[in-house]
A and B are shown apart, each in its own frame.
Chain A
C-alpha cells in the first residue's frame, strides 16, 4: 500500500472541531506530527489524528494554509534551530520574510496572529513560530509605550503609584530611552 499522503487532523479542544485534510509533506513542518508519524503505522494514520489546542478552527486553517504553501521548504528537526530564549544564544540576525509570508502576516488581525503563535508553539512548527514572534516584535520595535498599547490592544492596569515608580525606572535604561525622549 502506498504511504498515506493526506492526513486528517481535528482539534478536540472543544467539541465539534472541523476535520482538516493536510498533505503529509506540509504537515511534517510540525514537530508534533513528525513524532506521531514515527510512532504510528500507516494504518493508524487513516484515522483522524486528534490535536488539542485552545485555538479556533479559523486560526488552525491559517496555520495549515502556511504549512501547505511552505510544504517544500526544508523541515527543521529538533537539533536544528537553536535560537531560544534560554541561556544559549547564537549570533542574531533578523529572519527574512518572503513576499508571500509578508502578505500572509499582513492580512492577519491580531486575534488570528495570536492564534497562529499558540498553534505553532503547540504543533512545534519552528519556522512559523519564529516568523510570527518576529512579526510581533517588529510591531513593537521603535514604538513608545502608548503606541504599543494601542497597536497590541493592551490596557494599562497599573495603579497611579506603580505608574510613577515605573516612570522613574525608565531613567535607568539611560543610554537609549533618555535620548529618545529628548528628541
Chain B
C-alpha cells in the first residue's frame, strides 16, 4: 500500500510536531486536513508548548477554561513582547495623606493567579499595613471585577517602622487563600485573605518549640527577613529566616491554632560568629532537600542547609575555580540578601533544582549550582554600569531574569542559553540584517554563513540571513527600563526592593519600590493611530483594563510610569567590564505616532516595540 503523511501513526506525527519551531507552522499544518486538524487540536499544541518553552510552568488547561492552543498563543505572544521590549508600567501610589504617615516603606509583594476562576490577587506590605487587590477577568470586552482590601496596622496598635511588614506570601488555605506575614518586630502570622474577613488572624507562628520559653528568648523578637513555602503535594512547609535562625513550620490546616516550629536551625554557633552577622534570606531548593541561605557580614555569605537522615547540616555553597577565573570574580564579597532566586530547568513535578541566582555587592549576578560547580554556572553584569547594585531577582525558567536595585529601573537579562523558541521564526524570511544595530560594548558581531540569503531552505538546513542572525545573542542585547520620569514628579529617591508575579505565564508582574508599587504589563504598542480597538495585552491571561484607577476609598491612586529603554549588552561579567565605553542611546517610549500607523512591512522586523521605533531606523535600511 502507499503511505501518506496522514496515514502515519500518531506517535510518528507527534515527533514531527516536536520539531516545528513556530506556532505558524503548527497552525498551517493543522489546516491541511481533518486528521491533522484533530491531532493538532488534541495533542499538537501541548507538544508545541512543552517543547518550545520547556522550562516554563504552563497551567494544564484541564484545570482552567483554556485550550492548549490558547496557552500556545499566549506564550508565543509573551515571548515576542519580552524580546521586543513591549513592556509598560503604572505606579500604584498611596494617597499623600497616607504616604506621609507611613513614610517611605520598602514595599514587599506577592501575587497569585487562579486559572480556574481567572482571579488574580496581589498583596503588599505598605509599612505596618497590608494591602490587597483582587482582580477577576470576565471575558473579552468586559471590565475586570476589582476589589481592594486593607489591614490597618494602626488599628492593631502597630507602629510605623518598628512593626513594618518585612516579608509576605500568599498560600492556599481552606479552599481559599491566606497570607503569611513576617514583621520587623518578629511577628509571624497567618492571616485570612478572604475578602469578607480580610486580615483576620488565623494563627500565629511561635519562635520556639516550647511556647513557654518564647517570651524569655531574645530570638522571639528577631525580625523575620524572609518566608518561603514548599508545597510537596502533601504537607506544606514554611521556612522563615529569622535573624539568627531558620525556622521550619508545617502550615496548619483546618482548625486555626498557634503553631510551633517543627525544626529550628540555630546559626549563632557555626555561621554567625560576628555580632553584626545576620541571616537575610532562606529559600527552599531541591524540593525540600536543601535550603539556600544568604548571610550578611559572614565570610561565606552564600550557604545552604542540607537534609539528611541525621537532620539538617550547614554547608558553604560550591565555589568554582573555572567561574572565578573566567569571570574574574571573588567569592569573598557581600551578597544582596534579598536576591536569592532558584532557577528551574523543568516545570511541574520535576521542579526541584539546585541552581540559584544571587546578586552581589560588586555588581555581579551569579548563577551557580549550590552543591557542586556545574556547567550552568555563570556570572552576569550590566555591561554599561557594571557597579550598579541589584537588590532583587525574578527568573522565568531558563528564558530570562529580571533584576531590580538602585534607582527606579529594572533590567531584563538573557540567560544566554540556547532557546527553543524565537518569535522571529514565525515571521517570513528576509535577506537583510536585524535592525537597528544593537549596542554591544563587548560582544563581537556573529559571522553568518547565510550571507544575504533571502529565503530559508530548512530541508538543507540553510536559514535565511535574517532568521539566522535574529536568533543570535548579539541581536538580542539585554535591556534596562528606566522609570525615573515618574520619580521626577514624585521628588524622592527610590530603589526596587522586590519583584513578584503570579506565574510563569502571567503577563503582569509587580515591582516593589520605596513607598509604592509599580505594575508592569507586557503590552504591545498597536500599529494603528489612534489605537482604540487594537488588542494590546495578552488575550488569555492579561487584564485589558489594567490601567483602570483604583476605587476611591482604596487609599491609592495610579500614575503611568513611561519607560525609557537602554540596550546594555550581552550581560556577561568579565575583566574589561570597567573600561569606558560609548554610552548607548536612551530611547524614550513615544507610543504610536502618525508615521508608525499602518504596520509597514519592515516595521514588523524592527527589533523593538513600535513605541521605540524611530524613522531614522528605517532610512538606513531602505537606503
Contacts and interface: CB of A to CB of B under 8 A. Distances in A.
Interface string A144-183: 1100110011111110001000110110111111011011
Given A91-B418, A154-B32, A114 B77 contact: no
Interface in A12-63: 54
A54 B16 CA distance: 20
A175 B77 contact: yes
Given A85-B18, A96-B461, 18 more contacts: A90-B54, A94-B21, A94-B461, A114-B8, A115-B3, A118-B9, A121-B11, A136-B5, A136-B19, A137-B19, A138-B459, A141-B456, A143-B25, A149-B33, A156-B33, A175-B23, A176-B76, A176-B427
Interface stretch (A2-10, A69-77, A127-135): A127-135
12 contacts: A91-B54, A114-B4, A140-B28, A142-B428, A142-B429, A145-B31, A158-B34, A166-B37, A172-B70, A176-B423, A180-B426, A182-B604
Contact of B348 (A87, A97, A135, A137): A87
B12 interface: yes
A118 B9 CA distance: 8
Contact of A141 (B21, B33, B36): B21
A89 B33 CA distance: 28
Nearest to B1: A54
A125 to B, nearest CB: 13
A89 B426 CA distance: 21
A175 B28 contact: no
B29 interface: yes
Contacts of A179: 426-427, 604
Contact of A92 (B11, B54, B76, B458): B54
Contacts, number: 195
Given A140-B16, A172-B69, A118 B423 contact: no
Contact of A153 (B5, B11, B429, B604): B5
A141 B18 contact: no
Contacts of B15: 84-85, 129-130, 133
A170 B429 contact: no
B8 A141 contact: no
Interface of A: 54, 83-85, 87-94, 96-97, 102, 106, 110-111, 114-115, 117-118, 121, 129-130, 133-145, 148-149, 152-158, 162, 166-167, 169-170, 172-177, 179-180, 182-183
A96 B461 CA distance: 8
Contact of A140 (B6, B7, B8, B20): B20
Given A87-B348, A129-B15, A172-B70, A92 B420 contact: yes
A154 B36 contact: yes
B43 interface: yes
Contact of B418 (A54, A87, A93, A102): A93
B539 A174 contact: yes
A102 B34 contact: no
A152 B443 CA distance: 42
B531 interface: no
B398 interface: yes
A111 to B, nearest CB: 6
B420 A154 contact: no
Q: What are the 3 A-B residue pairs with the smallest beta carbon separation, nearest first?
A: A176-B426, A137-B19, A85-B14
A36 B370 CA distance: 44
B396 to A, nearest CB: 15
Contacts of B70: 172
Contacts of A96: 461
B319 interface: no
Interface string B21-59: 111111111111110110000010011001110110000
B340 interface: no
A175 B73 contact: yes
A85 B425 CA distance: 21
Contacts of B216: none
Nearest to B30: A166
Interface in B419-446: 420, 423, 425-429
B50 to A, nearest CB: 4
Contact of B12 (A121, A167, A183): A121
A144 to B, nearest CB: 6
B54 A89 contact: yes
A85 B459 CA distance: 22
Nearest to B22: A176
A177 B5 contact: no
B458 A141 contact: yes
Interface in B286-328: none
Contact of B50 (A87, A114, A130, A175): A87
A106 to B, nearest CB: 8
B426 A177 contact: yes
Contacts of B1: 54
B2 interface: yes
Given A157-B33, A180-B426, A173 B23 contact: yes
B142 interface: no
B533 interface: no
Contacts of B76: 173, 175-176
B77 A174 contact: yes
Contacts of A144: 28
Given A85-B47, A92-B420, A140-B20, A114 B54 contact: no
A145 B80 contact: no
A74 B76 CA distance: 36
Contacts of A149: 32-33
A140 B29 contact: yes
A123 to B, nearest CB: 13
Contact of B24 (A88, A92, A173, A182): A173
A97 B417 CA distance: 22
B33 A155 contact: yes
B361 interface: no
A59 to B, nearest CB: 9
Contacts of B17: 85, 137
A153 B31 contact: no
